[in-house]
Every structure is written in structure tokens, then in C-alpha cells.
Structure 1
Amino acid sequence: MYNLDGPSPVVSQRERGKERRRALIRSAARELLRKTGPDGFSMRELADRANVSPATPYNLFGTKAGVLIAVFDADLQEFRQAFERIPSADPVAHLFDFVDTAFAFFQREPEFYRNMLAPIAASSSGELRRGIIDPRATVYADLIKGLVDGDVLRPGISGEALLRTITNLMTIGVLNWINEDSALTQSRADVQTGFAFVLLAACRETFAPFLRGKLIPPAE
């Protein structure tokens, strides 16, 4: 029966049960991803690990890609919360805080990120790429918007071109680590150096001393 005062207790209890099962499935999927990658487990195996019926992952997420997107959505939310807690001095410093935060997450769970990101980068699934890559693109867009709104860029510098450049730099650095062409610490240093070179050309002279400092390798 419809309740004019709000959702009925039965509906609320049902929704709580669904969210509990969603959380169990996301947690199980993350553990399987850490061990095998997205292609290394089946929906039935996921259901077994989450202790739910074989139909439940399909009912709640639709497809395996839907499960993976849900896992990465939760991860992105955690990343955003961690990143937003950092008190950056200005929009330029904020870009380097972003690099530090991202690589700290990779360091925390290297198997999960490597197993997840490697197949995504090569995936032909439009659903998967749009669901996982596109939301992260908004993080880069927000960073560049901060530079534009803060009047940080030199006259004539295109925010769109700068966005593409830093996105490519980050992607290359992460892929070098995923493909084991460089260690995680080296990839982080490469991204930081690339950002510094690009921003030296793009930002007003006021920020040059800070950016030149980012070109100096950290002491061992």
C-alpha cells in the first residue's frame, strides 16, 4: 500500500537488503580482480564468493561489465574523498597532489589496479570504457578548470589542449607501470616531470620556481 508519509518500511527494508547484496558483490569482485583480473572469473564464481544466488549479480548489475563499473565507481568515490581532503596551496600544486594521491592508491593495491587497468586499456567494450574511463576524465577536466578559473595560464594557452596533454602524460605513465616497463616510483616521477615541463610553458611566470623544483629528482 502506498504511504503518503514516505516509503513504506517494507520497501526500505527491501532496498537495504539490495544494497547489502550490492556491497557483498562489489567486495567479492574486488577480491577476484586482485587475484585474477576481469577476465579471470565468472559471474557464477562471483556469486559463490559473495554468497548470493547465481542470478543476483545479474539482477543487481545487469552484466559483468556492470559489476566492474560499480567496483570502479566506488573506488573513484574513495579517491575523490581522499584527494579533496588535501589542502593545496593553489591550482598548480593541486595537479601534483593529484599525481601523489593517484600513485598512493596504486601503491596500496598494486595487484588490483594492474589487473583491472590492463584489460580496460585494451578493451573493445564501449560500455566498460565509457563507464570506467569517462568518469575519471572529469577529474582531469576539473583540474584544468581550476587553472583557467584561477587565471593561472598564460594568454593564448588552450585549456582543452592542456587537458589532452596532461591526460596523455598520466595515461602513458600508468601504462608503463602496468606493462612493467618501469617501476611504480619511476612512473610517478615521469608523470610529475612531464607535468612540470608542460606547465612551465603553460603557466604564468609566478609559478616557475615551484615548477622548476618539480624537475629536481627527490633525494634517495
Structure 2
Amino acid sequence: MPVVGEGLREQHKARRRARILDATREVLRERPDSVISTERIAERAGVAPATVYNLIGPRDKIWEALAAGFMDELEQRLVAMGDRGPGEVVKSTVQLFVDDPVVSRRMVREWEESGLVLERSPLIHLRRAMADTRTQGVLRPDIDTDALAIVVGTACVGALHQWVATLIDDDRFLARALFALDVALAAAAADPHRDRLLATLRTRGAV
């Protein structure tokens, strides 16, 4: 039988952890290229540096925690959306990055430098959405939707890195990600849907 006191302690820890991550984002927004330190984060969060270490871990673990928070937010958005077609997964993911550009860009650069492998990624949701689209008869039944999702995901990552490097703006980031999806869907389309998906692809490509 759960102990009430233990439940309250866990809730308190969760709130402090969320406050620490919020403080980390605030520090990054103020000084995007600075080296973040446990002390600065602790001061902003109103906790002791030891609390940051105990609840999050050393500095490299902060990026993992931010990534986990990113995926939590994405999953909440997709659940709230209900019908999660491939296009909505791509749009929601891009929007999540551009909603907080300073933190997102720094987070991605730190992922690259640390070699961090995300335990969860938007690709999981894209695979499911692609499989659902095949089940609905929009894609041919012989299509490997996992492979198709990986191709789209790879193209989206390329657009993400261009956006992180400020080579493209928010609108172009979204347009390139959706164009990659449109190419994949049109190539894999079942006969009754091919003309519609090709028309979407041509429209997107002309923008």
C-alpha cells in the first residue's frame, strides 16, 4: 500500500525538477552561447547546487532532461490533437522547435557535440502515423512504412540543422519538412490517392 508521505515527497521532487529545467531555459534565453553552470541554474531556480545535481545530474545530463521535456510536450500536443496523421506529426514537431528557438538551437548543438542518443524521438510517432495511413489504404499495402518514416525523418533532420545554423527561417524549415513528407507519400501512394498526393506535392514544390 503506497505511503502518502512518499507520494508527497515525489510530487515535491517533480516540482523542483520542473523549476530547475525552467530556470535552465531562462538562463539559455538570456545568454544563448554561454556555458551553463549548475550554480547559475541553482540560483535562478532558488535551490542549492546539490539539488540540481541530485535531481538532474551533472551538466551533460541537463541536455538529456531538456530533451525528455521536449518529447513530453510533443506527446501532449499529439494526444490533444487526436487524429495524428503524418502531416500533423511533422507540423507539431517543427512548431515545437520554433516556439522556443534559442533553447531549441542550443539544445540541438549540444546533442551533436555530446553524441546524445534520444531515448524517445518524433520518429516513433511518425512511424505510427505512416502505418495508420497505410492501414487506411492511402499507401500501397506493400510499403515498408518504417523505412518510409526513416527517410522522411532524415530529410527533416537535415532541415532542422539548416534552421539551427540560421540558414533558413521558420517558414522554410516547415516547408522543407512537409515537402519531404509529400515526396514520400506521393511515391508510396495507392492508386486511388496518387493524383491527390501528387497535386499536393506539386503545390508544395512550387512554393
* TM bracket, shorter-chain basis: 0.7 to 0.9
Q: Which residue of 2 is the match for residue 213 of structure 1? A: 200
* Counterpart contact for 1:33–1:116, Cα < 8 Å: no
Q: Which residue of 2 is the match for residue 15 of structure 1? A: 10
Q: Which residue of 2 is the match for residue 106 of structure 1? A: 97
Q: Which residue of 2 is the match for residue 154 of structure 1? A: 140
Q: Which residue of 1 is the match for residue 180 of structure 2? A: 194
Aligned residues: 206
Question: Which residue, 178, 189, 193 being the options, matches 1:203?
Answer: 189
* Counterpart contact for 1:38–1:119, Cα < 8 Å: no
Distance 1:13 1:85 in 2: 28
What one-letter code is carried by the residue in structure 1 that aligns with 2:108?
L
When residues 208 and 38 of structure 1 are mapped into structure 2, their CA distance, relative to the original with a 3 A threshold, is: farther
Pair 1:130-2:112 in alignment:
no
Q: Which residue of 2 is the match for residue 81 of structure 1? A: 76
When residues 193 and 8 of structure 1 are mapped into structure 2, their CA distance, relative to the original with a 3 A threshold, is: closer
Distance 1:59 1:117 in 2: 24
When residues 123 and 141 of structure 1 are mapped into structure 2, their CA distance, relative to the original with a 3 A threshold, is: farther
When residues 163 and 199 of structure 1 are mapped into structure 2, their CA distance, relative to the original with a 3 A threshold, is: same
* Counterpart contact for 1:43–1:54, Cα < 8 Å: yes
SS where residue 57 of structure 1 aligns?
helix
What one-letter code is carried by the residue in structure 2 that aligns with 1:215?
R
SS where residue 107 of structure 2 aligns?
helix
Q: Which residue of 2 is the match for residue 173 of structure 1? A: 159
Distance 2:158 2:15 in 1: 37
Task: Measure how far apart 1:70 and its partner are.
Answer: 2.2
Distance 1:36 1:215 in 2: 42
Distance 1:13 1:198 in 2: 48
Question: Which residue, 46, 54, 57 being the options, matches 1:51?
Answer: 46
RMSD, aligned α-carbons: 2.6
* Counterpart contact for 2:39–2:49, Cα < 8 Å: yes
Residues 29-40 of structure 1: pairs in structure 2 closer than 5 A: 29-37=24-32, 40=35
Q: With the length of structure 1 as denominator, give the TM-score of the two structures.
A: 0.80
Distance 2:59 2:33 in 1: 9
Task: Measure how far apart 1:116 and its partner are.
Answer: 1.3
Percent identical: 24
When residues 215 and 188 of structure 1 are mapped into structure 2, their CA distance, relative to the original with a 3 A threshold, is: farther
When residues 13 and 193 of structure 1 are mapped into structure 2, their CA distance, relative to the original with a 3 A threshold, is: closer
Task: Measure how far apart 1:68 and its partner are.
Answer: 2.4
Distance 1:16 1:129 in 2: 28
What one-letter code is carried by the residue in structure 1 that aligns with 2:142?
G
Structure 2: give runs of 5+ residues left out of the alignment: none
Q: With the length of structure 2 as denominator, give the TM-score of the two structures.
A: 0.84
Structure 1: give runs of 5+ residues left out of the alignment: none
Question: Which residue, 86, 110, 114 being the options, matches 1:95?
Answer: 86
